[in-house]
Structure 1
Amino acid sequence: MDGQPEIVTKLSLWLQQAGDIAMGWLLSPAAWSQFALLVGAFIAARMITRRLQPALAPYLTPPEGKAGLTVTARLYLRRGLPLLLPLLAYAFTAMGEEVTRSLFGSGAVIAFGKRIFLFLAARIFVNEVLTDPFLRLLGRYVLIPIAAIYALGILTEITTRLEETIISLGNIRFSVMALIRGLIAGSLLFWLGSWSNRQSADYIKKQEELRPATRELAVKAAEVMIFGAAFLLLMSIMGIDLTAVAVLGGALGVGIGLGLQQIAANFVSGIILLVEGQTTVGDYVELDGGEKGTIIKMTARACVLETFDGRWIVVPNEHFITTRVVNYSDQGSANRYEAAFSVSYDTDINTIPDIIEEAVGRLPFVLKSPDGPDCELRGFGESSVDFAVEYWVNGIDDGKNRFGSPVLFAIWNALKEHDIEMPFPQRVVHLKQDPAPPAKPRRSKAEA
């Protein structure tokens, strides 16, 4: 074995030790009794599982159409029924281990069997119980290999070797085991944080008694607290001194002061918007820059507006603080619009307001409160008398709800019904010609 790599030498020693252990088990009566106990424990667990699974399944199946935390817990328990077999076998083996050790003074086979049952439970848990793709990936490449190494009885030796392997990055020194532990713990913590954030956001958004702005603020606050706690816990697990985090926070503050002013301004502006609640999700707004639409999302950096034609406009939060914003939805859902029209000078204009107000008032979307349709005389044009009718509707005339076109149709039909002319510009053109110049007298030949 001279000249062989160290890992090959150690693998050969492990295989030799495994062979010696297996040969000792085959020749030992105590080992045979432990094998018999393992087989008996497995058979007993299988028989009990066959009876328990059909009996427990109806109790763990929630009624259709139900939702809630209890329903979710029952579904997870029902999905975990396949774990009954290896866990029962592990429990029965653990009870028999004490008897075997008291009789024979040895329990190596029993301990190996217990680890095998745990390995089987880990495989079933990953393949049949877990449904989240990330958790299943983590279980397949982390949990199952660790369970296999543990079943072989070499987990302690491997972890010790990884603890002794040190990585140096400048003044920072950490072991490979600490790095692996940090990666696994970080993955689990931030997945748990993401799941908790989704659950808390769904719960907060269902609280209809809270204002929309208050709900959004609560969602953002919960998100910051959850991921902040996950980050600090990860630092503690990896053994990193939190004073280094304070130094990092100071450096980050300097960076914000020097080069990230706009990001910081937008973040603070977003918090102000959520606290004040003057603009929130669902409001129809118009900015000084001409952007207008319905706010469909508010993030820490910007608000997303959806226009009537389906386009999304991302507006930085700072614009809502430093510029003039018209919020059509702030005082309620009723809004006033007007439609202009003209009639001929031959019309009895005193009858126009009653005719138009009645025609527009019959439209189903026109409100009677806070005020009904109001037709007003606006002026005397060059070729027509100009009117406008004002009306209130419940909503925004943003393209999805076109109120102006039906109102104009109603005005047209009402005027035609009463034979009232809607004139168009006319011009009278007079053509003038210059008079013919006087004829010159003709001279005689003698004069010529």
Structure 2
Amino acid sequence: MNFDLSGQPQIVQTTVGYAIQGWDIAKGWLLSPAAWSQFGLLVLAFVAALLLTRKLRPVLERVLTPEPDRRSILATLRRFVLIFVPLMLPLLAFAFTAAGEGFTRALFGSGAVIAFGKRVFLLLAARILVSEIITDGFLKTLGRFILLPVMALYTLGLLDLATAQLNQMTIALGNIEFTVMAIIRGVIAGSILFWLGRWSNDQTGSYIHKQEDMRPATRQLAVKAAELGIYGIAFLLLMNIVGIPLTSLAVLGGAIGVGLGFGLQKIASNYISGIILLLEGQATVGDYVELDNGMAGTIVQTTARAMILESFDGRWIVVPNEDFITTRVINYSDQGSSNRYEVPFSVSYNTDINLVPDIIEKAVAQHPGVLDDPFPPDCELRGFGDSGVDFAVEFWVNGIDDGQHKYSSDVGFLIWNALRDNNIEIPYPHRVVELRKAPE
């Protein structure tokens, strides 16, 4: 076929040229006995793979499926292998085709059709991998828009041509030039590396948090150090893949240093303060703290920049790490240490006050949350008021008197009931009004 395309755009001429080449290849295959023999071999390989898959797949699924409650390493490995069972059909077809390729080439001296069939089977395997096996949203998107187009180009034999074209196209950024292929390779490699980094960080963090013999602050520091190391390695690998020399990062490091000295000073201070807090363990997740400005809550999360407190009304308070270093912080929890509270009360002046401490201490000790260690309940005389004798009972509990715990309220009820049961009057203010008759 001859067409005069001299007046058409270059892209049209190139497309038509490729179409003509494809037609010539297809016509050669259709008219060649060797090509028909290879087509027959491909069909035979696919049918054999299909029949074998129908026989083996139920057996493999039965063997690889562990009991639902098994959590051993072998059970985990069996579940992982079970995920890839759907690839059996295209991979078996590929293997059977590859086994017959040598015979076909030796007999007919040609194997273009059977090589194309092998690539089709690999494309089918890639499609099954993306649509049925991969469940992560990011990897599925990467497979749909990167892997499948690349495999389609490979199947059609255009991958090398497309790669050469992309290597010739360049993008200039100042004095630095990048090929389009280098940018694409960097995007793909960066996506995969940082996904692997996120996955590795999650697995490492989960493993570290399970180490109960480590202090909570040490666990948090280990998680942060592992996160920094994983993403640092991923960044260095990405720079090497893209082709950017690491020595050129010295200028970037200098710019970052200047930025830290001016605009990023607070961020750097908070980051360093966070490391100090993790090292010293003064405040960590689970502690109930009160800051110098009156903010209080339980630490529910620590980040590189701040700590997040949850107040008892459900609000989250983001406190910069620097505030925990430069201001006064009261830690009521200190990872399980007990706290002392007191409840004041008064009795009438008609009471034998020598009996009050023993009555109240026995009553308060009945509360299940009140501790005997470091000290049991202690009732003390505080003074002689206008309406009665003032007492206060001190008690220790392992928790905070707020939220789900109401220690002071419970102890107040115990005091009231104990005084009532012993006929001890709780006074209330009295005022005597004297009326005098005015002199006549």
What interval of TM-score do these two structures reach, taking the shorter chain for normalisation?
A: over 0.9
Work out the CA distance in 1 between the residues paired with 2:74 and 2:94. 28
Tell me if structure 2 keeps the 8 A contact 1:360–1:411: yes
Number of the residue aligned with 1:142 = 146
Counterpart of 2:324 in structure 1 is 320
1:209-358 mapped onto 2 (5 Å cutoff):
209-330=213-334, 332-358=336-362
Q: Is the 8 A contact 2:131 2:140 kept in 1?
A: yes
Residue 117 (structure 1) shift:
0.4
Amino acid at match of 2:289: V
Aligned residue number for residue 440 of structure 1: none
Q: Which runs of 4+ in 1 moved over 6 A?
A: none
- Closer, same or farther in 2 for the Cα pair 1:4/1:75, shift >3 Å? farther
Which residue does the alignment assign to 1:445? Answer: none
Distance 1:397 1:294 in 2: 13
- 1:35 is matched with 39
Aligned-residue offset at 1:382: 1.2
- Give the alignment of 1:164-175 within 5 angstroms: 164-175=168-179
* 1:70 Cα offset (Å): 4.3
Structure 1 residue 363 displacement after superposition: 1.6
C-alpha contact (below 8 Å) 1:76/1:129 kept by paired residues: no
TM-score (norm 2): 0.96
Deviation at 1:201, TM superposition (A): 0.5
Residue 61 of structure 1 contacts residue 78 of structure 1 at CA under 8 Å; is this kept in 2?
yes
In the TM superposition, what are the counterparts of 1:113-152 in structure 2 within 5 Å?
A: 113-152=117-156
Q: Do residues 391 (structure 1) and 400 (structure 2) align?
A: no
What is the DSSP-based 3-state SS (H/G/I as helix, E as strand, rest coil) of the residue aligned with 1:337? strand
SS of equivalent residue, structure 2 residue 213: coil
- Measure how far apart 1:72 and its partner are: 3.9
1:331 deviates by 6.9
8 A contact 2:286–2:335 mirrored in 1: no
1:76 aligned residue (72, 76, 80): 80
Q: Which of 175, 191, 196 is residue 195 of structure 2 equivalent to?
A: 191
Is it true that 1:57 corresponds to 2:41 in the alignment?
A: no
Once the two structures are superposed, what CA deviation does each residue of 1:287-309 show, in whole Å capped at 9, x if it has no partner? 21112221111111111111122
Q: Secondary structure at the match of 2:355?
A: helix
Cα separation, 1, equivalents of 2:182 and 2:72 = 39
1:363-392 Cα offsets, whole Å, 9 max, x none, are: 222122222111110000111110001111
Give the 3-state SS of the residue equivalent to 1:424 in structure 2: coil
| Offset of residue 68 of structure 1 | 5.5
Distance in structure 2 (CA, Å) of the matches to 1:68 and 1:152? 44
> In the comparison of the two structures, how many residue pairs are matched?
436
Distance 1:121 1:133 in 2: 19
C-alpha distance after superposition, 1:55-88 (max 9, x if no partner): 1112221221233654443223212111011111
**1:179 has 2:179 as partner:** no
Q: Distance in 2 between matches of 1:148 and 1:425?
A: 92
Q: Which runs of 5+ in 1 are unaligned?
A: 437-448
1:67 correspondence with 2:51 = no
> How far apart are the structure 2 equivalents of 1:365 and 1:266?
38
Percent identity among equivalent residues?
64
Q: Which moved more, 1:321-330 or 1:103-112?
A: 321-330
Within 5 A, what are the aligned runs for 1:416-431?
416-431=420-435
Partner of 1:286: helix, strand, or coil? strand
Inter-partner Cα distance in structure 1 for 2:364 and 2:132 = 64
Deviation at 1:327, TM superposition (A): 1.6
Q: Deviations over 1:134-154 (max 9, x none)?
A: 111111111111111111111
SS of equivalent residue, structure 2 residue 330: strand
- Comparing 159-168 with 288-297, greater Cα deviation is found at 288-297
Question: Cα distance, 1:163 vs. partner?
Answer: 0.5
The structure having more radius of gyration, on CA atoms, is 1
SS across alignment from 1:199:
helix
Q: Alignment partner of 1:44: what SS? A: helix
Q: CA deviation at 1:5?
A: 2.2
One-letter amino acid of the counterpart of residue 199, structure 1: Q
Q: What is residue 381 of structure 1 aligned with on the other side?
A: 385
Secondary structure of 1:339 counterpart = strand
Quick one: which amino acid aligns to residue 279 of structure 1? Answer: A
2:16 corresponds to 1:16: no
Aligned with 1:259: secondary structure?
Answer: coil
CA distance in 2 between partners of 1:127 and 1:72 (Å): 22
Kindly tell me: are residues 250 and 67 of structure 1, through their superposed partners in 2, closer, same or farther at Cα, counting changes over 3 Å? farther
Distance 2:11 2:90 in 1: 33
Distance (whole Å) between structure 2 residues aligned to residue 424 and residue 366 of structure 1: 28
| 8 A contact 2:289–2:330 mirrored in 1 | yes
**Number of the residue aligned with 2:374:** 370
**Maintained 8 Å contact 1:279/1:330:** yes
Distance across 2 between alignment mates of 1:246 and 1:63: 55
Contact in 1 for aligned 2:343/2:412 (Cα 8 Å): yes
What is the letter of the counterpart of residue 357 of structure 1? E
Stretches of structure 2 that go unaligned for 5 or more consecutive residues are none
SS in 1 for 2:380: strand
Cα distance in 2 for residues equivalent to 1:384 and 1:267: 56
CA gap of 1:245–1:62, structure 2 versus 1, over 3 A, is farther
Q: Which secondary structure does the structure 2 equivalent of 1:46 belong to?
A: helix
User: Residues 121-166 of structure 1: CA distance to partner in whole angstroms, max 9, x if unpaired?
Assistant: 0000000110101111111111111111111111110110010011
The one-character-per-residue Cα deviations of 1:205-241 (angstroms, maximum 9, x if unpaired) are 0111111111101100110011111111111111112
Give the aligned CA root-mean-square deviation in angstroms.
Answer: 1.4
Is the CA contact (8 Å cut-off) linking 2:239 and 2:246 kept in structure 1? yes
Which segment drifts farther, 108-117 or 414-423? 414-423
**TM-score (norm. length: structure 1):** 0.95
